[in-house]
């Protein structure tokens, strides 16, 4: 396993990679880095694949454009297209977790010639809402529920990253704790922030590192975010309405390549995006695997590395089967 920088059309990307063979691209989410895929990179390399996990735009060792408009879904998908070409390949299987999942879904949706299969973790594909931009809908839902603002709405503010930048170690520790499967009921995040509080203040001050995260691994995150800040990562959220405007041409489009989705049973994200799980087969007709991992939380590829590795390798094996032979891979629950 090695890390290096690779120059694509408009971005210097830092990547973690290992192995030779068919390319598998692993896209992280918030607040993570390419290193969140270490277990998968190793397992894929051992199984005859070329695994590549980049630090995404705005994160870690990859370039961090200053303009929030440079973090749209078109930029993020374009970065992955450029990366495949810079690696000397023409196609790959794309895997995405958290924010990386919408990027992966849109890679498969818009460039099926490049991304021949897609494996999503934690966040299902969410089709474009025809009635209007998403942030207004989120605000209406929050008002109706009376639980405060959904954190995604709070992240729209231009200074929302300040509270994270003030103490990256505390912010990261609380975020990892609040969405982990080992965190007890009542202490996980609901995703909603009452008036007068911040996302960070809603998490208990005695939050500990998840059992799967060593102090050394946590230190890598703290070092990266202390150096690079949280503005770029939060700019992804600030493009939600812009993404809606930019993707009108994708209204009612379906993901046609082989697809899979894996989510933790206790993932708090399911409180506000889980409704899309039920309709995933309609949005991705060649959905070959849909798994709920019992007891797992949000950071599933690190919480349950062995299970995710097994499912990913099973899916990759299945994508080589004749899609017209029927069946594909079964839906499962663990």
Q: Is 272 helix (H, G, I), strand (E, B) or coil?
A: helix
Average pLDDT over residues 263-283: 93
Spatial CA neighbour of 7 closest among 67, 82, 73: 82
Digit-coded pLDDT (tens) for 288-305? 999 999 999 999 999 999
Q: In whole angstroms, what is the distance from residue 223 CA to residue 218 CA?
A: 9
pLDDT tens digit string along 61-97? Answer: 999 999 999 999 999 999 999 999 999 999 999 999 9
The Cβ of residue 185 has, within 10 Å, a number of other Cβ atoms equal to 6
Give this prediction's pTM: 0.94
Nearest to 283 by CA among 261, 260, 256: 256
Q: What percent of the chain has pLDDT over 70?
A: 96
* Active-site residue, 98 included: yes
Contact between residue 227 and residue 62 where contact means Cβ atoms under 8 Å apart? no
Q: Which of 63, 98, 149, 180 is catalytic?
A: 98
Over the chain, what is the mean pLDDT? Answer: 94
Residues 7 and 12: their CA atoms lie apart, in Å, by 4
Strand partners for 26? 95
Which of 14, 28, 97, 298 is catalytic? The answer is 298
Compute and round to an integer the Cα radius of gyration of the chain.
19
Q: Which domains does the chain have, with CATH numbers?
A: 2-131+247-333 (3.40.50.1820), 134-240 (no CATH)
Helices H / strands E in the chain, number of each: 14, 11
């Amino acid at each position: 396993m090695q890390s290096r920088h690779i120059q694509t059309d408009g971005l210097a990307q830092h990547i973690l990679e290992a192995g030779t063979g068919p390319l598998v691209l692993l896209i992280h989410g918030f607040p993570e880095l390419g290193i969140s895929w270490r277990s998968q990179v190793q397992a894929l390399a051992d199984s005859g694949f070329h695994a590549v996990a980049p630090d995404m735009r705005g994160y870690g060792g990859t370039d961090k454009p200053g303009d929030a408009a440079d973090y749209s879904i078109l930029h993020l998908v374009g970065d992955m297209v450029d990366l495949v070409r810079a690696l000397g390949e023409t196609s790959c299987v794309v895997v995405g977790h958290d924010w990386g999942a919408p990027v992966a879904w849109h890679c498969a949706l818009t460039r099926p010639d490049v991304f021949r299969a897609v494996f999503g973790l934690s966040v299902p594909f969410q089709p474009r809402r025809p009635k209007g931009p998403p942030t207004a809908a989120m605000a209406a839902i929050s008002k109706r529920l009376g639980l405060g603002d959904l954190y995604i709405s709070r992240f729209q503010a231009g200074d929302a990253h300040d509270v994270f930048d003030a103490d990256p170690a505390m912010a990261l520790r609380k975020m990892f704790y609040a969405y982990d499967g080992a965190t007890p009921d009542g202490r996980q995040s609901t995703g909603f922030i009452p008036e007068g509080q911040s996302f960070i203040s809603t998490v208990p001050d005695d939050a500990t590192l998840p059992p799967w995260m060593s102090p050394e691994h946590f230190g890598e995150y703290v070092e990266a975010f202390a150096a690079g800040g949280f503005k770029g990562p939060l700019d992804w959220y600030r493009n939600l309405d812009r993404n809606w405007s930019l993707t009108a041409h994708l209204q009612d489009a379906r993901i046609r390549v082989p697809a899979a989705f894996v989510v933790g049973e206790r993932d708090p994200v399911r409180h506000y995006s889980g409704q899309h799980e039920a309709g995933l087969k309609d949005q991705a007709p060649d959905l070959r695997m849909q798994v709920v991992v019992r007891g797992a939380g949000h950071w599933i590829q690190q919480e349950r590395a062995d299970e995710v590795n097994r499912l990913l390798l099973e899916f990759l094996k299945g994508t080589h089967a004749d899609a017209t032979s029927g069946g594909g891979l079964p839906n499962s629950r663990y």
